[in-house]
Structure 1
């Protein structure tokens, strides 16, 4: 049974204000002819989707919101919320692309107040991709090397309206778009589908709290050492480091993934 991650649903564009001042020089954009390259393994990583800042010494991988600029000289992963609408952004989607229950009410991810997208048919998935696809292209154009599509596990919050098949059919469209753009694509959480990563076109994994919830082995069984681990507690970090510190890329952040200099900022590694 999959848990609900503490932090898998953050606002798109939240890093934009910080990005202009802190992001640095853009990298050369990937091209459609380039083969996607997965992130380096057992590498220093920083999770900056709450706001961009200068990466700490030793960091090789940075994950930032798609509204931010990449960090110069590092491997950059572009965070994109693709399975749910942003809070308050329902009007940006055609009404029938928002998942609705039997009474016609929009189904929400109640923790983050995000409307779930209706990915139940091929026709609707293609229409959603008409918006999501350009976001992925934008990650390429900004110079990112990979994307991290969030809320792959939205079916767990759908009241049974969405299925694992729906999720996988939609992630395949994103994988194809990313690979055509020369970008690697990561599986976000959703350990129960990790075994299908090849069929779904996924190159690496980003797991929140697999140390805390004893799930890291579920990801390594499918992705080997191509796993980035984000922990939010001291216990989770300790357990992840004890079991996987010599193999995986592991970092602890504060739950709000605050920029450096914020009172809430936390960043620890093994």
Structure 2
């Protein structure tokens, strides 16, 4: 993994950063999930036995009881929400009009890009999803597919359209006392690091893009990083500020975590 340009944290990991008095989460004073390990599971019943400080799990298929059980075990729980694309099988899919539905995502059947310019329609729909995150007891939210302007969505989306939409997502989370993570969207990290509390990244080691996340590290905001194709040894130990794991791309329960550094 490329490491040049990543800024070392003065106080080490996020737990120590908070102890040293670093700023709380952006926008609403909401701290990001703490701890040096995480689990990312979106398929199947949540395996609560995984030794991870932070769980990132699906909004709809994860019950409030599962969130409470994870909290009772000392875990923090992130709510996965698809914010930039519509999945036909979700219970609220019918709440959106057809005109905001664009091209189908490559490799993801029955999932369609959204016209993020239409915040008049999308904001109340998103707010209801974020309300459900809050009601179930989640600590934070991970909005997915927030880089549609770089994909063939079927809409003439611009960089400014995406920035405005992503800042809307951050505001909706913070208004509910939820921390919020920036998922991928590496080209806009410099513009959005002040609005988001942590980053979630897929495959920056494989594509040699991890340096783009240096602003999060410099701001003492954690980077939750997952690889699917690379062997664990090729990106461990991770750079300072990264929590790195290897998963199956379907994001079921099995997980490989970078070993803790030797004392």
Flag whether TM exceeds 0.5 (same fold): yes
Q: Is the 8 A contact 1:175 1:202 kept in 2?
A: yes
Q: 2:53 aligns with which of 49, 57, 60?
A: 60
Q: Give the C-alpha shift of residue 232 in structure 1.
A: 1.1
Flag the 1:166–1:37 CA change in 2: closer, same or farther, 3 A: same
* In the alignment, structure 1 residue 175 sits paired with structure 2 residue 175: no
* In the alignment, structure 1 residue 233 sits paired with structure 2 residue 236: no
Q: Give the C-alpha shift of residue 145 in structure 1.
A: 0.9
- Which blocks of at least 5 consecutive residues in structure 2 are unaligned? 1-27
The one of the two structures with greater contact order (alpha-carbon pairs below 8 A, sep at least 6) is 2
Name the CA distance, whole Å, in 2 between partners of 1:76 and 1:176.
19
Q: Is the 8 A contact 1:210 1:240 kept in 2?
A: no
* In the alignment, structure 1 residue 95 sits paired with structure 2 residue 88: no
Q: Deviation per CA, 1:241-265: give whole Å up to 9, x if none.
A: 2452x54211111111113xxxxx4
Name the CA distance, whole Å, in 2 between partners of 1:115 and 1:211.
27
Name the CA distance, whole Å, in 2 between partners of 1:198 and 1:251.
22
* Alignment correspondent of 1:4: none
* Alignment correspondent of 1:166: 161
Q: Give the C-alpha shift of residue 55 in structure 1.
A: 3.6
Name the CA distance, whole Å, in 1 between partners of 2:78 and 2:94.
28
* Alignment correspondent of 2:75: 74
Flag the 1:252–1:75 CA change in 2: closer, same or farther, 3 A: same
* Alignment correspondent of 2:6: none
Name the CA distance, whole Å, in 2 between partners of 1:87 and 1:50.
16
Aligned length: 217
Flag the 1:162–1:92 CA change in 2: closer, same or farther, 3 A: same
Q: 1:141 aligns with which of 128, 135, 144?
A: 135
Name the CA distance, whole Å, in 1 between partners of 2:181 and 2:250.
21
* Alignment correspondent of 1:30: none
Name the CA distance, whole Å, in 2 between partners of 1:266 and 1:186.
20
Name the CA distance, whole Å, in 1 between partners of 2:123 and 2:217.
26
- Which blocks of at least 5 consecutive residues in structure 1 are unaligned? 1-33, 100-106, 260-264
Name the CA distance, whole Å, in 2 between partners of 1:249 and 1:182.
23
Aligned CA RMSD, in angstroms, stands at 2.1
Q: TM-score, normalised by structure 1?
A: 0.73
